A = this chain, B = another copy of it.
Amino acid sequence: MSTRDKIIDAAMTIVRDAGVGKLTLDKAATVAGISKGGVLYHFRSKDDLIRGMVQRLTDQCDQINQSYYAQEPEGPYRWARTLVRACFDPNGPANDPVGGALLAAVTLNPLLMEPIHAMYAKWRERLSSDSPDIVRAGLVCTAMDGLYFQRLMGIHRGDQGDARRLMEFALTLLSPSNPGAAP
């Protein structure tokens, strides 16, 4: 694993364990096992580090979504179903400290949220492309967002069983027997 990746990992871990406010270049260096100078060699500034974290997040989301999309059967709501499945992947971004990137960006410099906005725009486009009822798909996906943010903020709701039931219900809402309004 490259030093650059190690630094990003360290930053993510700090954010998850101690909060965004505790993320400093010094600490990121210590956790990554190098010195601050080393960090600043790979990232020209703290903003640059956050950018790296955000990119890691968006890359990971893209990757997992593509992978689930390939597995998901064709038909209406294919993208929405993909997003639901991805949200419950135990190894996906939804259960990774990688989400801390979001908090770091919105806290330290809202401009760094730009890639996130772009990602959302892409999702919205994909959802529209194959959802017979975009309101239905939107609600379900917004619920996935809610779940994601709750996890991010340490607001856990129920156990694994609850999560599974939630996923199943979300998929039910997106099943062929619930096509919703025609476009």
Contacts and interface: CB of A to CB of B under 8 A. Distances in A.
Nearest to A102: B153
Contacts of A106: 19-20, 103, 153-154
A102 B124 CA distance: 26
A166 B146 contact: no
Main secondary structure of the interface of A (DSSP, over half): helix
Contact of A110 (B148, B154, B166): B154
A151 to B, nearest CB: 11
Give the number of copies in the complex. Answer: 2
A157 interface: yes
B166 A108 contact: no
Given A106-B19, A108-B19, A166-B138, A116 B146 contact: no
A130 interface: no
Contacts of A103: 103, 106-107
Contacts of A169: 135-136, 139
Contacts of A3: none
Contact of A139 (B19, B108, B170): B170
